[in-house]
C-alpha cells in the first residue's frame, strides 16, 4: 500500500490507474462496490488499482464548526481500502484552490495530469467541481471526451435500505453495533494515542487506557464489550466506557476509557485501536464513587459474558 499526497498543482505522476474516487469514510459495502468496479476495470486494462480521497474531508472544510462525524482515522481508512485490493491511496489536499476548480479543471489537473487515470469509478451520488457543479453523469461525458472510462455504481441496499455513512452514524448513535458492523463489514473501532488520565481506575484495580474521541462520530454514550489492539496485532478482550464521566465533578471532553482484561503493560503514548462490539448500558451519573465501583464490577461481568 502506497499513500501519496497530491494537490491541484502536483507534478504529473502518470500512474495510469483505475481509480475509485470518493470520501470513503467507513469504507462500507457501498464504498467497497465502487472499489470493486475500479478493480474490474483495472483487470481489463492491466492498470494498477488506486483510490482517491480528500483531506480534510470536504464537510470539515466547508463546515469547520460541524459536529464530529468521522467513522475512521485516515490510517484506518487506508487499511480498509488496502483490504479491498487498493494498491495506492491518493490523498487529495482539499483547500481553497481545489474548492474553486471547475469540473473540467479538476479532471485536467488532478485526475489526468497528477494521477493519469485510465478509468474512474464513482458512486451514483458523486459530485465534484466548484459548488458541486457536476455529477456522475457529467463525469461520464467528460470521460468520453478526455479518453478515460467511467463506472458509476448504483446504491447498495441492505434489507431494503440504502447503505451510507450517515446510516452507519445513525446506527452508532443508538448503539446498534450489529447494523454498523454489517454495513462496514468490520466492527466500528476508535483509534488514538493513549493519554494519561487521573488514574482513578488504578485505585480500584481497574486501570483504563484513555483515548480522546477527537473527530470521531459520537457513538451512544455508555459501556461496551470491546476488543483492543495495542499495536502488536493481538486483539484482547476489554470493557470500554464512551462518554463524559458524569460522576466525576467538572466538564470532561468525550473520552473512550478502556480496561483490558488480564493486561498490565505501560501503553501510554502508544496507538490503541478499540473495537466496540456490544452495547451494555447507557452512561449515567452515580451518587458516589463506591456506587460507580460496584457498577463497574457488574459491567466487567457483562462484557466478559458478551465476549464469550
What is residue 257's predicted lDDT score, i.e. its pLDDT?
Answer: 95
* Contact in structure between 225 and 260 (CB atoms under 8 Å): no
Task: Answer with the residue of higher pLDDT: 284 or 43.
Answer: 43
97 vs 55, 115, 195, 280, CA distance in Å?
Answer: 13, 18, 36, 47
What is residue 258's predicted lDDT score, i.e. its pLDDT?
Answer: 96
> 187-307: which CATH architecture?
Beta Barrel (2.40)
Cell, residue 191 = 483509534
Candidates 121, 111, 119; CA nearest to 154 is: 121
What is residue 47's predicted lDDT score, i.e. its pLDDT?
Answer: 95
* Separation of alpha carbons 183 and 191, rounded Å: 19
Phi-psi region of 231 (alpha: psi -120 to 50; beta: other; left: phi over 0): left
- Region 89-117 average pLDDT: 94
What is residue 8's predicted lDDT score, i.e. its pLDDT?
Answer: 67
What is residue 157's predicted lDDT score, i.e. its pLDDT?
Answer: 95
| Alpha helices (H) in 50-89, listed in sequence order | 58-62, 74-83
What is residue 248's predicted lDDT score, i.e. its pLDDT?
Answer: 66
Q: What is the DSSP letter of 111?
A: I
Cell, residue 287 = 451518587
Band of pLDDT at residue 253, cut at 50, 70 and 90: confident
Checking if the pLDDT of 251 tops 80, the result is no
Q: Specify the CATH number of the domain 2-158.
A: 3.40.50.620
- Region 74-93 average pLDDT: 96
* Separation of alpha carbons 98 and 92, rounded Å: 9
Domain extents in the chain? 2-158, 187-307
Amino acid at each position: 500500500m502506497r499513500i501519496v499526497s497530491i494537490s491541484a498543482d502536483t507534478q504529473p505522476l502518470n500512474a495510469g490507474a483505475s481509480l475509485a474516487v470518493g470520501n470513503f469514510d467507513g469504507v462500507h459495502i457501498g464504498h467497497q462496490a465502487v472499489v470493486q468496479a475500479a478493480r474490474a476495470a483495472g483487470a481489463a486494462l492491466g492498470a494498477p488499482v488506486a483510490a482517491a480521497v480528500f483531506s480534510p474531508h470536504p464537510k470539515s472544510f466547508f463546515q469547520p464548526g460541524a459536529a464530529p462525524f468521522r467513522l475512521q482515522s485516515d490510517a484506518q481508512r487506508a487499511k480498509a481500502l488496502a483490504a479491498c485490493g487498493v494498491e495506492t491511496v491518493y490523498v487529495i489536499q482539499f483547500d481553497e484552490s481545489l474548492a474553486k476548480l471547475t469540473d473540467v479543471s479538476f479532471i485536467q489537473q488532478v485526475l489526468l495530469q497528477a494521477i493519469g487515470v485510465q478509468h474512474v469509478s464513482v458512486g451514483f451520488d458523486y459530485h465534484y467541481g466548484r459548488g458541486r457543479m457536476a455529477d456522475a453523469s457529467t463525469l461520464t461525458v467528460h470521460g468520453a471526451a478526455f479518453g478515460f472510462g467511467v463506472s458509476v455504481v448504483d446504491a447498495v441496499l441492505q434489507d431494503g435500505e440504502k447503505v451510507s455513512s450517515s446510516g452507519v452514524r445513525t446506527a452508532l448513535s443508538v448503539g446498534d453495533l450489529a447494523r454498523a458492523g454489517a454495513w462496514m463489514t468490520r466492527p466500528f473501532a476508535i483509534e488514538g494515542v493513549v493519554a494519561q488520565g487521573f488514574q482513578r481506575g488504578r485505585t480500584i484495580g481497574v486501570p483504563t487506557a484513555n483515548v480522546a474521541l477527537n473527530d470521531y462520530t459520537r457513538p451512544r454514550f455508555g459501556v461496551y464489550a470491546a476488543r483492543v489492539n495495542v499495536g502488536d496485532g493481538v486483539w484482547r478482550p476489554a470493557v470500554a466506557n464512551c462518554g463524559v464521566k458524569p460522576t466525576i465533578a467538572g466538564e470532561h471532553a468525550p473520552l473512550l476509557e478502556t480496561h483490558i482484561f488480564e493486561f498490565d503493560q505501560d501503553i501510554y503514548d502508544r496507538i490503541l485501536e478499540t473495537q466496540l462490539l456490544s452495547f451494555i448500558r447507557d452512561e449515567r451519573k452515580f451518587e458516589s464513587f463506591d456506587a460507580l465501583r460496584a457498577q463497574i464490577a457488574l459491567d466487567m461481568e457483562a462484557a466478559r459474558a458478551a465476549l464469550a
